[in-house]
Chains A and B, each alone.
Chain A
Amino acid sequence: MPSVTVNAEFLGGLDVIFGGVRKSKCKVTKDSDDPIILKDLMTHIANNLIVHKKDYDVFIEDDTIRPGILVLVNDTDWELEGEENYELEDGDLITFTSTLHGG
């Protein structure tokens, strides 16, 4: 089964739904031979890393990342990298960060 190992980061207070973990090594696998994409990592995180299933909505909404969370691929906005369809490579750093509003 093909697999890719990447680092996922949860910043801006998002770590609360991952039991306070800010950085996690993720081995993402796939049944088919299709390339492993960022969407697969999102599913992996949602299924395996969220501590309380009820917090799923904090991370995913309408089948994609919830508004107010930015996604970065190796420190670059995922919008510049193909968003969910970005093909993961070993060693990639994928950052998820909530937006802060306080001042």
Chain B
Amino acid sequence: MDYTTEELLQQIQELKLENESLKNKLDQPIQDEDPLEQSTKYPFTLEEYKRYGRQLLVPEFGGPESQLRLKKSKVLVIGAGGLGSPALLYLAGIGLGEIGIVDHDTVSISNLHRQVIHSTRTIGELKCESAKHQMLGIEPRLKIRTFQEGFNSINSFEIMNGYDIVLDCTDNPATRYLINDVAVLLGITVVSGSGLKTEGQLSVLNYMGSGPCYRCFYPTPPLPSSVTSCSDGGVLGSCIGVIGVMMVTECIKVLTGWYERKEKGFIPFLSLYHGYNEIGQSLRSFKMRGRRKGCVACDLENRSITREIIESGELDYGLWCGKVDYSVLNDDDKVDVQFLSDVLSKQKDDKNPILDVREKEQFDIVHLDGSINLPLRKLTNSTKEVPIDDLLKGYDSTLPLYVVCRLGNDSQLAVKYLKEEFGLQNVYDVKGGLNAWASIIDNEFPTY
């Protein structure tokens, strides 16, 4: 069919208008109609009876009274990632009064295998907004507040104040301690989840302002070198997702007073999930201690943590938890990826001038041709009693050795160790690692 330019322009204009009106429809809150009107005779609307009917039937849930409690409750979820995504999806449907979402990060493609509330369409958007959009699809009347600035010492009290319960869905010890301390000072219960690879942990902290807190379990922060992130250690979406979903169950139990209805009340616990158990999957629940006498956060007689020292920044959580110091080399010990590229292009035989210190799993995803793989962990577990030729199979000690990793951090530690422990002289760190290689030298080199 042939159209004239005018006809085509006309059609484009019409489509634009249609698109506009459809968009408006999506954004508009649904108008209250008859079945939704609050009856004077019953505590819920007709629609609410239908929406929550299936959970109202569950004996442990506690019936309409529990449903009313949820309706009056405000839940804060900090982190809309691997834990927060499934948690928020389930929270959206249970009939809460308000849900707050704190996350300053934006959606990226490497999130989507586990952060199921986001979608390819929302890549680049703020996670809290992307999550809100998806949740309104489940319950258009849900009151959702988003906090785009992230959670920090300065805004922590302002954000958390007024919420009945907090779900700690964050990914680092410093923020976990901060959430704990603020929650203890405000008397808010924290449902705490975490996970890595195929394992996950779940706990309820500062239960009703009287249970043990994070610091009772962990008075001293872990060594930075012992903390592994999901981007380094990896994580199965379905395994971390299980924990996020379990957090919602705990949230319901706390808000509806289930622990209060139990004869023994609340017993502090830590549940441990393992997706790749010897037999099937496993979930273990450990009975944990109560509050620690002398706890600097929750023992009233020994409390040294106050709102003032948190908000003023006097207590620097990042500094207190520390981080691994990667600046251990002089500039003379480093080369850039361009230099390495020139070396490789002049390389005539198959002698190996590259040592890749990433874990085997990462090496197997992609590596530079001919590189030797020896993970940093294995390297630093070896001492000079082992001949270097045995350790680095194919290494030619007459040639310079270039050390790479993913981002150029571990490679620096490796170079230092090779120099100090094995006395290697001719060994260099490749600045920026394979990510720099991919962005500067070889655009087809996969990054992950």
- Interface set of A (CB-CB < 8 Å, partner B): 11-13, 16, 22, 52, 54-55, 58, 66-68, 70, 72, 75-77, 79-80, 95, 97-103
Could you tell me the distance between the alpha carbons of A77 and B288 in the complex, rounded to whole angstroms?
A: 5
- Nearest-Cβ distance from residue B71 to partner chain A, whole angstroms: 28
Mask: chain B, 194-218; 1 = CB below 8 Å from A; 0 = not: 1111011100000000000000011
Residue in B closest to A58 when the chains form the complex, CB atoms: B226
A101 near B171 with CB under 8 A, answer yes
A99 near B381 with CB under 8 A, answer no
Could you tell me the distance between the alpha carbons of A77 and B228 in the complex, rounded to whole angstroms?
A: 24
Could you tell me the distance between the alpha carbons of A98 and B200 in the complex, rounded to whole angstroms?
A: 11
A77 near B286 with CB under 8 A, answer yes
* Given known A99-B218, A101-B196, contact A77–B201 (CB-CB < 8 A): no
Most buried by B among A68, A80, A97: A68
Task: List 18 A-B residue pairs with CB atoms under 8 Å apart, sorted by A's residue number.
Answer: A11-B272, A22-B278, A55-B381, A66-B222, A67-B222, A67-B223, A79-B289, A80-B288, A80-B289, A95-B286, A97-B272, A99-B194, A100-B195, A100-B199, A100-B200, A101-B172, A101-B228, A103-B169
- Nearest-Cβ distance from residue B335 to partner chain A, whole angstroms: 29
Could you tell me the distance between the alpha carbons of A12 and B79 in the complex, rounded to whole angstroms?
A: 22
B218 near A100 with CB under 8 A, answer no
- With an 8 A cutoff between CB atoms, is B372 at the interface? no
Could you tell me the distance between the alpha carbons of A66 and B380 in the complex, rounded to whole angstroms?
A: 20
B289 near A77 with CB under 8 A, answer yes
- Interface set of B (CB-CB < 8 Å, partner A): 79, 81-84, 168-173, 176, 193-197, 199-201, 217-223, 226-230, 233, 235, 240, 270, 272, 274, 278, 284-289, 292, 377, 380-381, 383
Residues of B within 8 A of A58 (CB): 226
B240 near A76 with CB under 8 A, answer no
B270 near A70 with CB under 8 A, answer yes
Beyond A68-B226, A97-B272, A103-B82, 7 additional pairs, beta carbon < 8 A: A13-B197, A13-B228, A67-B218, A68-B220, A101-B222, A101-B229, A103-B240
Residue in B closest to A16 when the chains form the complex, CB atoms: B377
- Nearest-Cβ distance from residue A82 to partner chain B, whole angstroms: 12
- Nearest-Cβ distance from residue B270 to partner chain A, whole angstroms: 7
Contact of A99 among B83, B197, B222, B380 (CB under 8 A): B222
Residue in A closest to B192 when the chains form the complex, CB atoms: A103
A103 near B381 with CB under 8 A, answer no
Residue in A closest to B270 when the chains form the complex, CB atoms: A70
Could you tell me the distance between the alpha carbons of A11 and B168 in the complex, rounded to whole angstroms?
A: 22
B286 near A102 with CB under 8 A, answer no
Could you tell me the distance between the alpha carbons of A99 and B158 in the complex, rounded to whole angstroms?
A: 29
Residues of A within 8 A of B286 (CB): 70, 72, 75-77, 95
Could you tell me the distance between the alpha carbons of A57 and B218 in the complex, rounded to whole angstroms?
A: 17
Residue in A closest to B79 when the chains form the complex, CB atoms: A103
Of all A-B residue pairs in the complex, the 6 with the closest CB atoms, nearest first, are A68-B222, A67-B220, A52-B381, A79-B289, A103-B171, A102-B196
A75 near B226 with CB under 8 A, answer no
- Nearest-Cβ distance from residue B142 to partner chain A, whole angstroms: 23
B274 near A77 with CB under 8 A, answer no
- Nearest-Cβ distance from residue A24 to partner chain B, whole angstroms: 13
Contact of B287 among A66, A68, A75 (CB under 8 A): A75
B240 near A70 with CB under 8 A, answer no
B229 near A102 with CB under 8 A, answer yes
Residues of B within 8 A of A22 (CB): 278
Could you tell me the distance between the alpha carbons of A52 and B382 in the complex, rounded to whole angstroms?
A: 8
Most buried by B among A54, A75, A103: A103
Residues of A within 8 A of B381 (CB): 52, 54-55
Residue in B closest to A12 when the chains form the complex, CB atoms: B199
Could you tell me the distance between the alpha carbons of A68 and B171 in the complex, rounded to whole angstroms?
A: 15
Residues of A within 8 A of B170 (CB): 103
B195 near A75 with CB under 8 A, answer no
